[in-house]
Amino acid sequence: MEEIFIPIWGVNKASKGGIIYGDYLQLDKIVSAQVLQSEVKGNKIHDEHLFIVTHQAYELWFKQILFELDSVRHLFISEHVRDERNMLKVNNRIHRIVMIFKLLVDQFAVLETMTALDFFDFREYLAPASGFQSLQFRILENKIGVPDNLRVPYNRRHYRDNFKGHESEMLLATEQEPTLLKLVEEWLERTPGLEVDGFNFWERLEINIFDGLNLEKEKIEKMEDSEDKEEMMAELVKQKELFTSLFDEKRHDHLLSKGERRLSYKALQGALMINFYREEPRFQVPFQLLTSLMDIDTLMTKWRYNHVCMVHRMIGSKAGTGGSSGYHYLRSTVSDRYKVFVDLFNLATFLVPRHWVPKLNPTIHTFLYMAECCDSSYCSSEDSD
Amino acid sequence: MEEIFIPIWGVNKASKGGIIYGDYLQLDKIVSAQVLQSEVKGNKIHDEHLFIVTHQAYELWFKQILFELDSVRHLFISEHVRDERNMLKVNNRIHRIVMIFKLLVDQFAVLETMTALDFFDFREYLAPASGFQSLQFRILENKIGVPDNLRVPYNRRHYRDNFKGHESEMLLATEQEPTLLKLVEEWLERTPGLEVDGFNFWERLEINIFDGLNLEKEKIEKMEDSEDKEEMMAELVKQKELFTSLFDEKRHDHLLSKGERRLSYKALQGALMINFYREEPRFQVPFQLLTSLMDIDTLMTKWRYNHVCMVHRMIGSKAGTGGSSGYHYLRSTVSDRYKVFVDLFNLATFLVPRHWVPKLNPTIHTFLYMAECCDSSYCSSEDSD
Amino acid sequence: MEEIFIPIWGVNKASKGGIIYGDYLQLDKIVSAQVLQSEVKGNKIHDEHLFIVTHQAYELWFKQILFELDSVRHLFISEHVRDERNMLKVNNRIHRIVMIFKLLVDQFAVLETMTALDFFDFREYLAPASGFQSLQFRILENKIGVPDNLRVPYNRRHYRDNFKGHESEMLLATEQEPTLLKLVEEWLERTPGLEVDGFNFWERLEINIFDGLNLEKEKIEKMEDSEDKEEMMAELVKQKELFTSLFDEKRHDHLLSKGERRLSYKALQGALMINFYREEPRFQVPFQLLTSLMDIDTLMTKWRYNHVCMVHRMIGSKAGTGGSSGYHYLRSTVSDRYKVFVDLFNLATFLVPRHWVPKLNPTIHTFLYMAECCDSSYCSSEDSD
Amino acid sequence: MEEIFIPIWGVNKASKGGIIYGDYLQLDKIVSAQVLQSEVKGNKIHDEHLFIVTHQAYELWFKQILFELDSVRHLFISEHVRDERNMLKVNNRIHRIVMIFKLLVDQFAVLETMTALDFFDFREYLAPASGFQSLQFRILENKIGVPDNLRVPYNRRHYRDNFKGHESEMLLATEQEPTLLKLVEEWLERTPGLEVDGFNFWERLEINIFDGLNLEKEKIEKMEDSEDKEEMMAELVKQKELFTSLFDEKRHDHLLSKGERRLSYKALQGALMINFYREEPRFQVPFQLLTSLMDIDTLMTKWRYNHVCMVHRMIGSKAGTGGSSGYHYLRSTVSDRYKVFVDLFNLATFLVPRHWVPKLNPTIHTFLYMAECCDSSYCSSEDSD
């Protein structure tokens, strides 16, 4: 804040009776909240202070992430995103979450200045406190869209059972709210150009792809017999299978039921469409959004993986001679099961040469150049958060 | 690259006679280019290897930055940006330059593992080689828009005189090409909404601001006499002066001539307009672009400052008992004189309350929702780089 | 380098006929080594340039890591480390490798500015080039100590079969050289205090631990029957098993043969001793070294994991409809099998309360305060690299 | 914390009635301390939440830095560092401060996701709160050793006058405590080898340097007359002046009085001695410490510079048409005046060829291999913080 405060507009409303820095930030609470259990128990261990501050910093940032996440979900829920003016806001806030997660990954470097020996000296005083009990982190996972049934179980307990009654209820409630995944899905389903009675992107794409593959097949068949030819034909067969599966809605639903896909069939089509036509003015910001959603997934797994590395160093891989260890549990959460937007990554499997992508006709082209004009009440520059 | 190579489309064109990793990257050149001068002179010093590799890595990335910069300048020059489909490309490439500069700032951490003593052991062998002679870095500065007359002189020599004949000519040539600054300026001057016979943003803004300030004045005058009232009136007078100067084209040209402003009067208007209406669909990506241009400036000065810090550690602040030192020269380049897009930063001085911003009328509003449809030949998804 | 060159000592040996920046760094080679295969094949794709430069930067840094690694291995092999003056050098160079790996992890952020679609446009031209063919990376793994038999096989081929004849031979040769792991092992085996006829750390530790556990047992037995008591007794039994296994050399050798431990029994003892007495002057730098070795392992797996994340985004998780994919192969290398210094992490499992650690007697205590005085020829400040 | 809690030793002291995560971290305080002034004033602005959380995170980390700093100062004050076992602790804690500052520099990236326009919307509500009022940051500067008389004045007010009565007194108190600078100075003055009646490093060094320079002079005089010869002679004269000044205690005291040097004459000698003999076992960790102290200085100025860059973006460079701006004030604090350990940087000016460094005689050499054995009570492995 250090001097980012100056030019007051018109009336300097606060100048005399205004608020000062420490009160504004409630520093009395923030910097008095470090009570070392080792000290309470009569054996003050220096490094416990770092341990506490680091975790408090994590929780502060989790709060910020939740704040951004809720505002984005609100924008989606209230259909504000139908006014495309709000896409910049959605995009910026999702990007801010990305930047915070980057910081949180880097933040491990500070805690890593503590050695296993330093940690050993106070870890007994912490029991049974555990990061499992980070309510905000579980809420965060729920609100983004980690579903209950894909969570890795730990010691055969349901994750909610690690929490007290009212916390457990809060968690249950967040499971039932629309997740970011769900809201993005609905938005993708509305992608202009998907209309069956309009541009009908999906059917056009299917036709182009199979035409393309058939043309390839004819070319290969004209080649003289050789090992090369065989390989290319084998590869072609694979490609055909791959795309046959893409256009098979039943197969999609099967993968959905197993948790290997997470978006609806229609939303997947929208995502692919935005990818192919990302340079059209109306798709530029949506395309950025899809990229940022993958960034969140990637950074959350990087966070998990950095966490695993630190735990390995702090307590080793074995939690005694029997039972599953914290280390191995955490390791198992660094998994694609926890990637909420896994479908966006897997789109890369379905890319095709540019000339196979259906050409826009003038109607749809114009369409993609023009955002719909919203309710005229938005035409002022007033901001409704 | 490690396995990012697989699915070949249709015909696997390269499978048999294809290129392999080491040849593709010309590693024979890259990893054989480390010749230690200390070793040549018969006194091999271990840390010189790091010194060489670090500088080579810098130059590799400078090459990449120049490549991106040239492609962006080309897009601007060839007026491709009139087709707004290209804005995503421009934006992404500028953003990539930002990401590279971030890496280059972080990269100092590696060279800082060398101590002043390690450096002392071989620095005599390097003379008179000097980073001043980094041709790519000077070209980079020129192409972005650091002008000759704002450069800090070093030892009373013109910067170009540190280079051999043909290199000096290359530098002169880049000074005469259109800089990124110039091209951005032209683009900003075309901002829709500036037209005097149209929405006429600038005049509307001027009216609104002075109306607003007068209203404030009336409010203050009605207050009872007090210290507060005096302060507020004094502040109001300052604000009036500030905005009077903003709308004074002659003053702008005066500041331009001194190098304190760098954009034309009209371009400044465009930049402010994009800031105020950044949420309009057509301005979302342009607004991101303006932000990225500031990022480049910021990161270049951070790079310079990190460089200064390292030099302080390596050779101290005094280069002997007389004469100007490298340290002090470098320090002087960490200056707003080297911030090419300084006007974009200083826009923050001219922000006003949202209700002072001219309301869009339906015409301009629709306009800002629709990119102009370009030549139909672009309506295919073909990419022309 | 930019001006880090000035004060020449005594005779300014190079001033006139000296070397200049561009020649010193052989920039003619470095910045001319970017040949786009897409351009060669007549379809220049912009982003291929980034792809090339990024990989070249990786290879440059791999070269630097190998240079540091070889110098450290040389210091160990030539027994220079028996002169404890060299420990600082060893430590600094290992730390430098750590800093380079940190940069390499961050460097992914630059390549991630390329999207799957950008990559798709040129990836066909690269085949069959593959990161598998990075000779330097494989040499690096070998020299640190990734053993042949713990490597994850890819497509049922031996990793060396991806290389040309003379490269394959180079790889075989590096497998047969003493690895960093082996050299550290030998150094740890010499840890002062392990001597059976001296301080005999290992036996003392075993006695103390089992005395300590028995005391705990007695305390628990005196408690009244309760669930708590049962739990504590069960926990104690586990602890006893854990430590019984620690002092069981046969079990150690069994784990060694399975690759679950990598250090000899004696070296493990040395590592534990350095951990427990890390504050003794002679053990301070060795303790730092053990920490840095874990850092290398951690960063290499983080590098692998970041790589996996990028590959997921670039090509998806499925390499067609059959066969193992690059993604899944890479994912399997993010494994403790590839952690060379896994034993150092797992030491955390064997920590004990400070009062169980054998007290130093005056002899060993003095000993740990005094480095052995080396050959007097070292008493000059001459540096022999 | 997530599962870093498990193996409890012997008696599981806390298992049943123990503390849980949220209570341990006092999250009720931490995550309830975000009150948006804009919301209080009836105009909730989304980005104020980020502004608050970011500053709270800064203050949390400042608290941690102060905690480490106080512990290090305590170790120095209580003369624990005479027991060299404590040097590892001192070094690690200083290094931890370095790592925290790195994080704080990176943390700006998160706040930079806020634009000047976003900030403008709520900055009026903050007045007169200002970062100047960060008590912890001023205490931090004082405890490290930024002296009152070298501070840049802001708006002609003494820095303490920005604080309330009891805070102002706290600041005054910290000015009067021994600073880190002072304590390091005393420790450096005790560097073994400086004793005039012993090794007498300083006199030996002076003799060697002037002998060396004289030898150079003779060599040059024997050369044939040429421009080269003249240049070399001129350079030699400068070197002589430089070193004459180094060995001139009065000149040192003069520079001290101007704030251009900060360490006593004797401490400077100690620092140079540690630099020249850094590889001697007893000097390895002290040398690391000197490096880390420079790191702190460097990172604090980088933090200041990053701050300046952000302020430039948020409020521009002009705070109205008259008066000094926050931007320019902050810029002036990015100065060597604020580098507490500036002498350690400037040592680089006084490096000499290795063969000019006085050779250790056997006595001092042995000495530098042996830490003094401390009071036998330390010979246990008990830790007294």
Question: Residue D98 carries which DSSP code?
Answer: H
Which residue of chain B is at minimal alpha-carbon distance from D120?
A: B351
Please check whether residue C15 touches A, CB under 8 A: no
CA-wise closest residue to A144 among A182, A171, A172, A170 = A182
User: Residues 140..199 of B with a Cβ closer than 8 Å to C: which?
Assistant: 164
Closest CA–CA distance from residue B229 to any residue of chain A (Å): 9
CB contact under 8 A, C351 and A117: yes
CB contact under 8 A, B276 and A11: no
Closest CA–CA distance from residue A357 to any residue of chain D (Å): 35
Closest CA–CA distance from residue C131 to any residue of chain D (Å): 31
For residue A228, with 0-12 CB atoms within 10 Å meaning exposed, 13-18 middle and 19 or more buried, which class applies? middle
The answer to whether the CB of A240 falls within 8 A of the CB of A319 is no
Give the pLDDT band (50/70/90) at residue D317: confident
Give the pLDDT band (50/70/90) at residue A7: very low
More confident residue, C308 or B93: B93
CA D380 to the chain's CA centroid: 33
Give the pLDDT band (50/70/90) at residue C364: confident
Whether C78 has a pLDDT exceeding 90, the answer reads: no
Rounded to an integer, what distance in angstroms lies between the CA atom of residue D10 and that of residue C235?
A: 8
Q: Give the per-residue pLDDT at A127.
A: 76
Give the pLDDT band (50/70/90) at residue D189: very high
Please check whether residue A312 touches C, CB under 8 A: yes
Please check whether residue C116 touches A, CB under 8 A: yes
Rounded to an integer, what distance in angstroms lies between the CA atom of residue A263 and that of residue C293?
A: 43
Q: Give the per-residue pLDDT at D127.
A: 75
Closest CA–CA distance from residue A154 to any residue of chain C (Å): 19
Q: Give the per-residue pLDDT at A17.
A: 58
CB contact under 8 A, B216 and A355: no
CB contact under 8 A, A348 and C116: yes
Closest CA–CA distance from residue B319 to any residue of chain D (Å): 7
At residue D197, φ and ψ (nearest 5 deg) are -90, 15
Q: Give the per-residue pLDDT at D366.
A: 67
Q: Chains C, D: CB contacts under 8 A, how many?
A: 139
CB contact under 8 A, D88 and C278: yes
- D23-45 pLDDT tens trace: 999 999 999 999 999 999 999 99
Residues 6+ apart with CB under 8 A from C306: A302, C105, C108
**Residue of D275, D317, D347 with shortest CB distance to B316:** D347
In this prediction, residues C128-134 reach a mean pLDDT of 77
Provide the residue count of chain D: 385
Q: DSSP assignment of C304-368, as one string?
A: HHHHHHHHHHHH-S-SSSSS--HHHHHHHHSSGGG-TTHHHHHGGGG---GGGSPPPPHHHHHHH
Whether A2 has a pLDDT exceeding 90, the answer reads: no
CB contact under 8 A, A235 and B352: no
For the ranges A198-207, B96-105, D115-124, D372-381, the lowest mean pLDDT is seen at D372-381
Which residue of chain A is at minimal alpha-carbon distance from B14?
A: A228
**Residue of B242, B291, B314 with shortest CB distance to D115:** B291
Give the pLDDT band (50/70/90) at residue C12: very low
**Residue of D316, D334, D345 with shortest CB distance to B313:** D345
- A210-256 pLDDT tens trace: 999 999 999 999 999 998 899 889 989 999 999 999 999 999 999 99
Please check whether residue A348 touches C, CB under 8 A: yes
CA-wise closest residue to C341 among C305, C307, C295, C275 = C295
Please check whether residue A344 touches D, CB under 8 A: no
Please check whether residue D309 touches A, CB under 8 A: no
User: Residues 69..108 of A with a Cβ closer than 8 Å to D: which?
Assistant: 71, 92, 95-96, 99-100, 102-103, 106-107
Q: Give the per-residue pLDDT at B75.
A: 93
CB contact under 8 A, A321 and C241: yes
- In chain A, residues with a C-beta closer than 8 Å to the C-beta of D310 are 4
At residue A213, φ and ψ (nearest 5 deg) are -65, -40
Q: Chains A, C: CB contacts under 8 A, how many?
A: 102
CB contact under 8 A, D381 and C10: no
Q: Give the per-residue pLDDT at C330.
A: 84
Q: Give the per-residue pLDDT at B222.
A: 94
Q: Give the per-residue pLDDT at C126.
A: 86
Closest CA–CA distance from residue B16 to any residue of chain D (Å): 47
- In chain B, residues with a C-beta closer than 8 Å to the C-beta of D298 are 309, 313
CB contact under 8 A, B232 and A370: no
Whether C112 has a pLDDT exceeding 50, the answer reads: yes
Q: Which residues of chain B have pLDDT under 70?
A: 1-17, 79-82, 155, 318-325, 365-385
Residues 6+ apart with CB under 8 A from A213: A236, A239, A240, A243, B10
- C246-302 pLDDT tens trace: 999 999 999 999 999 999 999 999 999 999 999 888 899 999 999 999 999 999 999
Rounded to an integer, what distance in angstroms lies between the CA atom of residue B202 and that of residue B184?
A: 19
In this prediction, residues C46-71 reach a mean pLDDT of 97
CA-wise closest residue to B368 among D266, D147, C299, A83 = A83
In this prediction, residues D156-181 reach a mean pLDDT of 90
Whether A62 has a pLDDT exceeding 60, the answer reads: yes
Rounded to an integer, what distance in angstroms lies between the CA atom of residue C166 and that of residue A136?
A: 56
Q: Give the per-residue pLDDT at C2.
A: 35
| pLDDT > 70 in chain D, percent | 87
* B70, amino acid identity: D
In this prediction, residues C173-190 reach a mean pLDDT of 96
For residue A86, with 0-12 CB atoms within 10 Å meaning exposed, 13-18 middle and 19 or more buried, which class applies? buried
Whether D323 has a pLDDT exceeding 80, the answer reads: no
- The CA-CA-CA angle for residues A66, A72, A74, to 5°, reads 100
CA-wise closest residue to C295 among C94, C93, C14, C3 = C94
- In chain B, residues with a C-beta closer than 8 Å to the C-beta of D320 are 235, 238-239, 241-242
CB contact under 8 A, B2 and C119: no
For the ranges C168-172, C175-179, D196-200, D369-373, the lowest mean pLDDT is seen at D369-373
At residue B225, φ and ψ (nearest 5 deg) are -60, 135
- In chain D, residues with a C-beta closer than 8 Å to the C-beta of C208 are none
Which residue of chain D is at minimal alpha-carbon distance from C365?
A: D379
Whether D70 has a pLDDT exceeding 60, the answer reads: yes
Chains that touch A (3 or more CB pairs under 8 A): B, C, D
Give the pLDDT band (50/70/90) at residue D333: confident
The answer to whether the CB of C100 falls within 8 A of the CB of B107 is no
Rounded to an integer, what distance in angstroms lies between the CA atom of residue D25 and that of residue D23?
A: 5
Question: Residue B128 carries which DSSP code?
Answer: B
SS3 annotation, chain A: CCCCCCCCCCCCCCCCCCECHHHHCCHHHHCCCCCCHHHHCCCCCCCHHHHHHHHHHHHHHHHHHHHHHHHHHHHHHCCHHHCHHHHHHHHHHHHHHHHHHHHHHHHHHHHCCCCHHHHHHHHHHHCECCHHHCHHHHHHHHHHCCCHHHCCCECCECHHHHCCHHHHHHHHHHHHCCCHHHHHHHHHHCCCCCCCCCCCHHHHHHHHHHHHHHHHHHHHHHCCCCHHHHHHHHHHHHHHHHHHHHCCHHHHHHHHHHCCCCCCHHHHHHHHHHHHCCCCHHHHHHHHHHHHHHHHHHHHHHHHHHHHHHHHHHHCCCCCCCCCCHHHHHHHHCCHHHCCCHHHHHHHHHCCCHHHCCCCCHHHHHHHHECCCCCHHHHCCCCCC
- In this prediction the pTM is 0.93
In this prediction, residues C26-51 reach a mean pLDDT of 96
Rounded to an integer, what distance in angstroms lies between the CA atom of residue C317 and that of residue C314?
A: 9
Please check whether residue C42 touches B, CB under 8 A: no
For the ranges B152-161, B209-218, C208-217, D250-259, the lowest mean pLDDT is seen at B152-161
In this prediction, residues A354-358 reach a mean pLDDT of 92
Please check whether residue B66 touches C, CB under 8 A: no
More confident residue, C331 or B115: B115
CB contact under 8 A, B30 and C26: no
Q: Give the per-residue pLDDT at A80.
A: 61
CB contact under 8 A, A321 and C242: yes
Give the pLDDT band (50/70/90) at residue C131: confident
Please check whether residue C55 touches B, CB under 8 A: yes
Give the pLDDT band (50/70/90) at residue C100: very high
D279, D351, D355, D372: best to mutate for the C interface, most C CBs within 10 A: D279
In this prediction, residues D49-54 reach a mean pLDDT of 97
Rounded to an integer, what distance in angstroms lies between the CA atom of residue B37 and that of residue B52?
A: 10
The tokens of C225 are what?
Answer: 């029957």
B5, B205, B284: best to mutate for the A interface, most A CBs within 10 A: B284
Chains that touch D (3 or more CB pairs under 8 A): A, B, C
**Residue of C34, C60, C129 with shortest CB distance to B56:** C60
